[in-house]
Amino acid sequence: MGGVHPPENKFAEKQAIKVLPPPETVVIPLSQHLGVPAVPVVEKGDKVLAGQLIAKGEAFISANIHASVSGTVVKIDSMPETSGYRKQSIVINVQGDDWAEGIDLDKSLAKECTLEPEEIIGKVHESGIVGMGGAAFPSHVKLRVPKGKKADYLIINGVECEPCLTADHRLMLEKGREIMVGISLQMKALGVERAIIGIENNKPDAIEHLSELAAEYPGVSVESLKVKYPQGAEKQLIQALVNREVPSGKLPIEVGCVVHNVGTSYAVYEAVQKNKPLVERVVTVWGTKLKQPSNFMVRIGTSVAHLIEAAGGLPEDTGKVINGGPMMGKALNDLNVPVTKGTSGILLLPEHESMRPTEQNCIRCAKCLTICPMGLEPYLLSTLAMKQRLEECERERIMDCMECGSCLYICPSGKPLLDYIRLGKQWTGKMIRERNQ
Partner 1 sequence: MNVLTVSGSPHFHTGQSVSKIMYGVVFSLLPAMLVSFYFFGLAAILLTLTAVVSCMAFEFIIQKYLIKGPLTIFDGSAIITGVLLAFNVPANLPLGLVVIGSAVAIGMGKMTFGGLGKNPFNPALVGRVFLMISFPVQMTTYPEPSVFSTKLTDVVTGPTPLTFLKDGISRGQEVSELMPNLPDYANLMMGNMGGSVGEISAIALILGGVFMLFRNIISWHIPVSYLGSAAVFSAIFWFIAPETYPDPLFHLLTGGLMLGAIYMATDYSTSPMAPKGMLLFGVGCGVLTIIIRLFGAYPEGVAFSILIMNAFVPLINRGFKPKRFGEEVKNG
Residues between 219 and 238 with contacts to partner 1, criterion CB under 8 A: 235
For partner 1, the closer CB: 275 or 370: 370
Q: From the list 18, 75, 177, 320, which residue makes contact with partner 1 (rule: CB under 8 A)?
A: 320
Asked if 386 touches partner 1 (CB under 8 A), the answer is no
Identify the helix (H) or strand (E) that includes residue 169: helix 167-174
C-beta contacts of 362-366 below 8 A and 24+ residues apart? 362/413, 362/415, 363/412, 363/413, 365/412
Alpha-carbon Rg for the chain, nearest whole angstrom, is 21
**Contact mark string toward partner 1, 417..436, x via CB under 8 A:** -xx--x--------------
Q: From the list 36, 135, 369, 399, which residue makes contact with partner 1 (rule: CB under 8 A)?
A: 369
Distance of alpha carbon 393 from alpha carbon 330, whole angstroms: 25
Residues 6 or more apart in contact with residue 65 via CB below 8 angstroms: 28, 30, 32, 38, 53, 54, 55, 56, 57, 90, 128
Asked if 284 touches partner 1 (CB under 8 A), the answer is no
CB of 153 to partner 1, least distance (A): 9
Asked if 47 touches partner 1 (CB under 8 A), the answer is no
Phi, psi of 22 (to 5 degrees): -60, 140
Asked if 245 touches partner 1 (CB under 8 A), the answer is yes
262-274 and 167-174 helices, crossing angle to 10°: 50
Distance of alpha carbon 42 from alpha carbon 65, whole angstroms: 11
Asked if 376 touches partner 1 (CB under 8 A), the answer is yes
**Contact mark string toward partner 1, 132..161, x via CB under 8 A:** --------------------x---------
For partner 1, the closer CB: 74 or 242: 242
The secondary structure of residue 55, as a DSSP letter, is: E
For partner 1, the closer CB: 10 or 140: 10
CB of 85 to partner 1, least distance (A): 13
Please tell me whether the peptide bond between 230 and the residue prior to it is cis, using omega within 30 degrees of 0. yes
Distance of alpha carbon 243 from alpha carbon 230, whole angstroms: 16
For partner 1, the closer CB: 1 or 105: 1
Q: How far apart are the first and last CA of the chain?
A: 36
Residues between 391 and 420 with contacts to partner 1, criterion CB under 8 A: 397, 400, 403, 405-406, 408-410, 412-414, 416, 418-419
For partner 1, the closer CB: 278 or 376: 376
Find the farthest-apart pair of alpha carbons in the chain and give their distance in angstroms, rounded: 64
Q: From the list 227, 362, 386, 399, which residue makes contact with partner 1 (rule: CB under 8 A)?
A: 362
Asked if 21 touches partner 1 (CB under 8 A), the answer is no
Q: What type of residue sits at position 172?
A: M
Residues between 165 and 224 with contacts to partner 1, criterion CB under 8 A: none
Asked if 381 touches partner 1 (CB under 8 A), the answer is no
CB of 163 to partner 1, least distance (A): 7
- Helix, strand or coil, per DSSP, at residue 196: strand
Region binding partner 1 by CB under 8 A among candidate stretches 41-49, 209-217, 278-286, 368-376: 368-376
Residues between 321 and 360 with contacts to partner 1, criterion CB under 8 A: 321-322, 324, 326-333, 335, 347, 349, 351, 353-357, 360
With contact defined as beta carbons under 8 Å apart, do 232 and 161 qualify? yes
Distance of alpha carbon 71 from alpha carbon 94, whole angstroms: 4
Asked if 365 touches partner 1 (CB under 8 A), the answer is yes
CB of 24 to partner 1, least distance (A): 20
Region binding partner 1 by CB under 8 A among candidate stretches 34-42, 174-182, 203-211, 311-319: 311-319
- Helix, strand or coil, per DSSP, at residue 56: strand
**What's the full length of the chain, in residues?**
437
For partner 1, the closer CB: 56 or 397: 397
CB of 348 to partner 1, least distance (A): 10
For partner 1, the closer CB: 269 or 379: 379
Name the CA dihedral angle for 323, 324, 330, 336, rounded to a multiple of 10 degrees. -10
- Judged by CB under 8 A, the number of residues near partner 1 is 77
For partner 1, the closer CB: 18 or 422: 422
DSSP string spanning 376-413? --HHHHHHHHHTT-HHHHHHTTGGG-----HHHHH-TT
Q: From the list 36, 227, 314, 399, which residue makes contact with partner 1 (rule: CB under 8 A)?
A: 314
